[in-house]
Amino acid sequence: MAGDLVIVNGAVHTVDPAVPRARAVAIVGGRIAGVGDDAEMRALVAPGATVIDAGGASVLPGFVDAHNHVRLGSNPGAVQLAGATTLSEICARIDAFADAHPDTAWVEGEGWNYTAISGGSPTASMLEGVGRGKALFLFSYDVHTVWLNRAAMARLDITGEQVHLPWGTVELDAAGAPTGYIHDFAVLGISEEGQRALEPHIPGYAPDAQYERTLQSLDMATAFGITTIVEPQNGLDDIALFVRARDEGTLRSRLIAAMLCLPGTSAQRLDALEEAKRTYADDRFRVGPIKLYIDDVIEPHTAAMLAPYANAATSGDTFWPPEEFAAFLRELERRGFQAFTHATGDRGIRTVLDAVEGCRRATGPADVRHQIVHVECVHPDDVARFGALGVVACMQPRHCAPDIVAEWRENVGAARERYAWPFRSIAAAGGTLAFSSDWNVAQMDPMVWLYTAVTRADLEGNGAWNLEETVDLATAVRAATLGSAYANFVEDRRGSLTPGKDADVIVLSRDLFAEGDPRAILETRVTHTVVDGEVVHRTAD
């Protein structure tokens, strides 16, 4: 913890209705001592206190990123496929990467978009002759599917005889042969069993490689003003990475780790997770919530929908039978766990809401703050249930940007678009919004979340859609600070600039609320990040 600090000459947006605006913030002993005018706040700190002159720019609570895969991050050893709009461009990038890395047996790739592949799912045959004979292991942008070439399938012994792998589900063609397309990776491949199965084969899964990606992501987080990170999907094996970062002093933001449970989770497994929750429970690193999946994603038609997709004769399915899911949620509550449940389709979302409602009928009111994560396609009858049941909508605004959702919209169909990512409707009905990045599926920068929530446009300001679900900037900032803090039971310590709370504060490069053009949000940077009263990031003067 650093000494006294005062931030003066700022446009302080406190996210505290008691004192919504101020000019200065005083910090003493790692806590916010006061907010007010410059002279008042200077008087609260000791002589010789550090002074930050905000220059009229915004001063905000630190961002609380409620869903950030900081452990996986972006692999610097992978070919980056984001932005490639055609198969030929994807192949060209892979070839260039293979030429630049002649000694590697594998090429890992990140970020290919479903819209770049015309005519259905990607296949190994599309990669024939690509990659200079190397094995190709290519993640989709949402990390829910993996695309392999024949060399990779041979190395991983994928023959079609075993469809359900520890790290994904193999798609087969009409003849029963594997196509090279693997579903359910985000569900299974990031589990302990999935990681152990892949680690001997895929270089990026080695513990040291994961730790390096973790450090890279942690540095990005502090530079973006993220003072609390919620890492949403981990196993017991992964805790060591965060403990190492904490002990080595590289965990400068606070971190909450959610632990993955799949269907069939045993009582012994839950016992072990309870022990981890008791062991790791301080303000810097905490283990606790449980991550669940009720469905997959809409782009490959694997999210659970109430009616068939607009362009496919399927409505997807849930990973858990609804009754089994509801019973497991009741058991989690009995053990004192909060649940984060991935749900994107309207049937998946309804299944989770029904399970929470069943818990309330069985045990009565409870402040458990279960989260539904993503909340992409909501039936209008379910919008108000978030507030009524106390279920938090953990949402990632960038996911609804028009440059990303073309295939999503085609699959869902126009009739279901009105309540796509319904930020405004959920908030208006009394629900809590908790904004987040979903790094590295989308950009980590909170300015991207704020801008997209306000505009529903792409990063050039084009293609805005479903404007009924935009929110104003104050609502977006609250969702990225106090909303996410509340979602994770830390609103009494973080999320607003309130005297007595933790001194997690950021200074921006301009006054966000003085700008008329939302595109100015994207040009805004964090100049100072303060965690526990210590400046952990500052831009060069």
User: Quick check: is 469 in a domain?
Assistant: yes
Residues 83 and 166 in one domain: yes
Q: Is the pLDDT of residue 332 over 80?
A: yes
**What's the pLDDT score for residue 115?**
86
Q: Indicate whether 198 belongs to any domain.
A: no
Using one digit for the tens of pLDDT, what is the confidence trace for 417-426?
999 999 999 9
Q: Which domain holds residue 136?
A: 79-189
Banded model confidence at residue 120, pLDDT cuts 50, 70, 90: confident
Mean pLDDT over 305-314 rounds to 97
- CA–CA distance, 489 with 31 (Å, rounded to integer): 18
Average pLDDT over residues 172-195: 90
Q: What local confidence, expressed as pLDDT, does residue 204 receive?
A: 81
Rounded to the nearest 10 degrees, the angle between the axes of helix 473-480 and helix 446-455 is: 140
Find the length of the chain.
Answer: 541
Residue 327 lies in a domain: yes
Chain center to CA of 305:
22
**Is it the case that residue 540 has pLDDT exceeding 80?**
no
In this structure, are 333 and 475 located in the same domain?
Answer: yes
473-527, pLDDT tens digit by residue?
999 999 999 999 999 999 999 999 999 999 999 999 999 999 889 999 999 999 9
Whether 264 is covered by a domain: the verdict is yes
Quote the CA–CA distance of 82 and 428 in Å, as a whole number.
35
CATH assignment at residue 137: 3.10.310.70
Q: Determine, yes or no, domain membership for 70.
A: no
Q: Give the chain's mean pLDDT.
A: 95
Give the three-class secondary structure for 148.
Answer: strand
Most confident of the ranges 139-143, 201-205, 438-442, 444-448: 444-448
Q: What total number of domains does the chain contain?
A: 3
Asked if the peptide bond before residue 411 counts as cis, ω within 30 degrees of 0, the response is: no
139 in the same domain as 214: no
pLDDT in tens, 254-298: 999 999 999 999 999 999 999 999 999 999 999 999 999 999 999
pLDDT number for residue 323: 98
Tokens at residue 452, please?
Answer: 């997209």
The reply to whether 435 and 321 lie within a common domain is yes
Which one-letter amino acid corresponds to residue 208?
D
Residue where a domain terminates, one of 133, 162, 189: 189
Q: Helices 346-363 and 322-334, interaxial angle, to 10°?
A: 50
Q: Is residue 351 part of a domain?
A: yes
Do residue 234 and residue 356 come from a single domain?
A: yes
Q: Are residues 129 and 35 in the same domain?
A: no
Asked if 243 and 359 sit in the same domain, the reply is: yes
Same domain, 257 and 359: yes
Per-residue pLDDT tens over the stretch 10-57: 999 999 999 999 999 999 999 999 999 999 999 999 999 999 999 999
Q: What is the pLDDT of residues 357-376, one digit of tens each?
A: 999 999 999 999 999 999 99
Give the closest residue to 116 by CA, choosing from 140, 90, 144, 85.
85
The answer to whether 420 and 466 have CB atoms below 8 angstroms apart is: yes
CATH number reported for the structural domain that contains residue 359 in this entry: 3.20.20.140
- Do 479 and 525 fall into the same domain? no
The rounded distance, in Å, linking the Cα atoms of 354 and 41 is 49
- The band of 541, judged by pLDDT with boundaries at 50, 70 and 90, is low
User: Does a structural domain hold residue 67?
Assistant: no
Q: Are residues 349 and 483 in the same domain?
A: yes
Is residue 79 predicted with pLDDT exceeding 80? Answer: yes
Task: Say what the pTM is.
Answer: 0.93
Please tell me the least confidently modeled range out of 75-89, 275-289, 314-328. Answer: 75-89
Name the nearest CA neighbour of 537 among 219, 291, 263, 100.
Answer: 219
Task: Please report the pLDDT score of residue 2 as a whole number.
Answer: 64
Of the three residues 445, 466, 487, the one that is the final residue of a domain is 487
What does the pLDDT read at residue 3? 76
Measure the CA dihedral 398/242/296/374, to 10°: -30
Which of left, alpha, beta for 82 (phi over 0: left; psi -120 to 50: alpha)?
beta
Task: Label residue 189 by pLDDT band (50, 70, 90).
Answer: confident
Is the residue at 495 inside a domain? no
What's 18's domain CATH number?
Answer: 2.30.40.10
pLDDT surpasses 60 at 1: no
> What Cα–Cα distance (Å) separates residue 412 from each residue in 218, 319, 345, 374, 483?
35, 20, 9, 15, 28
Confidence class of residue 118 from pLDDT cuts 50, 70 and 90? confident
- Provide the pLDDT for residue 451: 98
454-481 pLDDT, tens per residue?
Answer: 999 999 999 999 999 999 999 999 999 9
Same domain, 468 and 507: no
Are both 381 and 257 inside the same structural domain? yes
The CA–CA distances, whole Å, from 123 to 127, 157, 175, 182 equal 7, 17, 14, 10
**Is the CB of residue 501 less than 8 Å from the CB of residue 530?**
no
Q: Specify the residue for token string 């994107």.
A: 344
